Amino acid sequence: MIDKQPLIHRLCIIGVGLIGGSLAQALKQASAVTEIVGAGRAEASLQKALTLGVIDRYETELATAVVDADVVVVAVPLGAMFDVFAAIAKHLPERCVLTDVGSTKGSVLGDVRRAFGQAPATFVPGHPIAGTEQSGVEASFPELFRKRRVILTPLVETDASAHYLIRQMWEITGAEVVEMGVRHHDEVLAATSHLPHVLAYALVDTLARLDDRAEIFRYAAGGFRDFTRIASSDPQMWHDICLANREPLLQVIEQFTHDLAYLVEAIRTGDNETIMAIFRRAKHARDNLYLE
Amino acid sequence: MIDKQPLIHRLCIIGVGLIGGSLAQALKQASAVTEIVGAGRAEASLQKALTLGVIDRYETELATAVVDADVVVVAVPLGAMFDVFAAIAKHLPERCVLTDVGSTKGSVLGDVRRAFGQAPATFVPGHPIAGTEQSGVEASFPELFRKRRVILTPLVETDASAHYLIRQMWEITGAEVVEMGVRHHDEVLAATSHLPHVLAYALVDTLARLDDRAEIFRYAAGGFRDFTRIASSDPQMWHDICLANREPLLQVIEQFTHDLAYLVEAIRTGDNETIMAIFRRAKHARDNLYLE
C-alpha cells in the first residue's frame, strides 16, 4: 500500500509505567508510531524504559518533552496529574492531541481545567480498564490492552478529529473502545473497581492485625487468594483514586455497608430466607450478568 | 511387598458431592480402599457417581449403608449433618471410625453429641480446605486435595488409632494434615473463608440491585472477576456455614466493619497518612505473610 503512514509521528508519553509502557510497546509492535519520547521525573525508570526499547528517547523536562509532539499521553498517578498539566499547559503544540489514562475522569477533567483555564478542544479523556497488581515499566507488555475495554469520556467541546485519533490509537492495541459521560464513568468504576479495592485492603488489614495473623494466612484457601489479590496493588495509586473519586466512592460504600448490615442482621437472627435470597441473587448475578 | 493391604476395607461415604466424590477417587487411585459404598438421599446423584466409577455401589438407607463399614465419612452440607448422625447413631459398627468434612467444627461436634449422647471415641472431626465454586459429583476429581491442607480437630476422648487412620487417609490424597482445637479452627476459618464469602455475596448483591447493573458488570475488570468468584459458590452451603459458625463469624465481621468505617472516615476527610498506612500494611501482609 502506498500511504502506510504511521498513525502518529511523534508520541510523548509522560509516565512510562505499566500502562504507559504497555501502550508504547503495543503501538511500536503495530508500527503505528514513528518516535516515542518518554518523560517523567524518575530518570532511572526512564533509562530502564530506554534500555528495554519501550521508548526511543527521554526527557526529564516536560516542557521540552512535548516539543513537536502530535499526541501527548499523560499516564502518571492521579495525584501527579495537575502538576503535569500545569507544566505542559504553555508548551503544548497547538494541534497536539492530549489524552490521559486516569482511573477517575472527573478529577482529571478538573485538573485540566485548573491548569489550562478551560479544557483544550484537543483533550480526549480516556481510561483503559486494564492493569495487573504489578506496576512499573518492567511489568509492561504489548498485549495488556488486548480484548480489554478503554473508556473515552469526550466532552461537548472535544474536537472530532482528536477524538477519532485517540479511538484509533486504542483500537490498534487490541482494545474495545467504548464511550460514556464523565460522571457516569466515575460511578460505574466506583462500584466495580474502587469499592472492591477498598474492601480487599480493609479485609487484609483487619486480618493482618489479628493476634494469630501468621496462622490466619497459613490456612487461607484458594478463594482467599483470589479475593485478596487486589490488595497487592500499588498503595499510592489507590490512595489517589480513593481521594480523586471520593464522592461516588463514598456513595456506593454507604449502599454496600447498608446492605452488609442487613445481611449480618439476617445471620444474627437466623433468618434463613433473607440469607438464601441474598446469596442466590448474588450467585445468579455473578454467573449470568457477566455474559450480557 | 507381602502385606500391601488397602488402608480401608469398606469405606462408606455419605454425601457423594465434590468433596466426597474427590476423596473416593483419590483413595481408589491409590488402591487404598477395597470397596466404597456411597450413600445419601438423592438417588439420581448416587447413580451418577456409580456410573462415573466414583463409588462401587450405593444405598439410600443410611442404616444399611454403614453395615460392616470400617470408616464412615460424612460429607453432607452442614445443615444436614445432625439428621445423618441421628440416622446412623444406632447402626454404626462398634470399631467403625467416623469422620466428617464440615467447614465448621463446633457445630458438627454439637450435632454428633446431640445424636450420639456423647462423641464416640472413634469420631475424628476433619475439614479439608479445598473446593472450587463448583459442586456435585460431576465436578469431583482425584487431585482436589493435593497440596491442600486438611485440618483435624481431635478431641481429648478421640481414640489414637482412629485419629491415625484418618490422618493416613488424608495423606494418601496428597493433602498436608494439620491439627488444631475446635474453637480455634472456627475462628481462623471465620476470618479467612467465611467473612470473604459474606463480603463477596454482599458486594455482588449490592451491585446487582443498582439501576445500571448490566453496565456495571460489563465494565468490571479482571480484579473484579477474581474478587467476586467466590460469590458463585453454592448458596445453600454458605447459608449453612454462616449459621453454623455464627458466633465467630459475627465477631470478625464486627471487627471488619469497625476497621472499614475507620478507613471510610479517612477517605471522607482526606487523611492521606491513614489511608496510606492501611493500604501499605495490607499490601505488605498480602505479599509476605503468605510465604511464612
Judged by a CB distance cut-off of 8 A, whether residue B52 touches chain A is no
- As a whole number of angstroms, the distance between CA B139 and CA B151 comes to 22
Residue in the block written with cell 482412629: B162
Q: Give the model confidence (pLDDT) of A83-123 as tens digits.
A: 999 999 999 999 999 999 999 999 999 999 999 999 999 99
pLDDT for B291: 43
Q: State the helix-helix crossing angle for A246-269 and A235-244, rounded to 10 degrees.
A: 100
Judged by a CB distance cut-off of 8 A, whether residue B146 touches chain A is no
Q: State the helix-helix crossing angle for A195-208 and B272-288, rounded to 10 degrees.
A: 70
pLDDT for B212: 77
Q: Give the model confidence (pLDDT) of A194-219 as tens digits.
A: 999 999 999 999 999 887 777 778 77
pLDDT for A105: 98
pLDDT for A292: 38
CATH of domain A8-180: 3.40.50.720
Nine-digit cell string for B32: 487404598
- Judge: B231–A286 Cβ closer than 8 Å, yes or no: yes
Q: What are phi and psi of A52, to 5 degrees?
A: -75, -5
* Sheet with B71-74, edge to edge strand ranges: B57-59, B33-39, B8-14, B71-74, B97-100, B123-124
Residues of chain B with CATH 1.10.3660.10: 185-291
Residues of chain B with CATH 3.40.50.720: 8-180
- As a whole number of angstroms, the distance between CA A216 and CA A213 comes to 5
Q: What is the DSSP letter of A175?
A: P
Q: What are phi and psi of A211, to 5 degrees?
A: -60, -40
Distances in Å between the Cα of B161 and the Cα atoms of B49, B164, B178 are 30, 5, 17
Nine-digit cell string for A235: 498503595
Judged by a CB distance cut-off of 8 A, whether residue B206 touches chain A is yes
- Judge: A257–B252 Cβ closer than 8 Å, yes or no: no
Please tell me the pTM assigned to this model: 0.88
- Judge: A215–B188 Cβ closer than 8 Å, yes or no: yes
Average pLDDT (A150-165) is 96
B151 to chain A, closest Cα gap in Å:
9
Q: How many CB atoms lie within 10 A of CB B189?
A: 26
Residue A173 clears pLDDT 70, i.e. is over it = yes
In total, the C-beta contacts within 8 angstroms joining chain A to chain B are: 292
- As a whole number of angstroms, the distance between CA A194 and CA A104 comes to 10
Per-residue pLDDT of chain B in tens (292 residues, 90 and over written 9): 455 789 999 999 999 999 999 999 999 999 999 999 999 989 999 999 999 999 999 999 999 999 999 999 999 999 999 999 999 999 999 999 999 999 999 999 999 999 999 999 999 999 999 877 778 999 999 999 999 999 999 999 999 999 999 999 999 999 999 999 999 999 999 999 999 999 999 999 999 988 777 777 877 766 788 888 899 999 999 999 999 999 999 999 999 999 999 999 999 999 999 999 999 999 999 988 654 3
Give the homologous superfamily in CATH for domain A185-291.
6-phosphogluconate dehydrogenase C-terminal like domain (1.10.3660.10)
Residue in the block written with cell 472450587: B132
Q: Which residues of B touch A196 (CB under 8 A)?
A: 203, 223-224, 227-228
**Could you give the count of Cα atoms lying within 13 Å of B24 in the half-sphere of its Cβ?**
35
In angstroms, how far is CA B132 from the centroid of its own chain? Answer: 10
Residue type, B259: D
Judged by a CB distance cut-off of 8 A, whether residue A145 touches chain B is no
pLDDT for B288: 83
Q: What is the ipTM of this complex?
A: 0.88
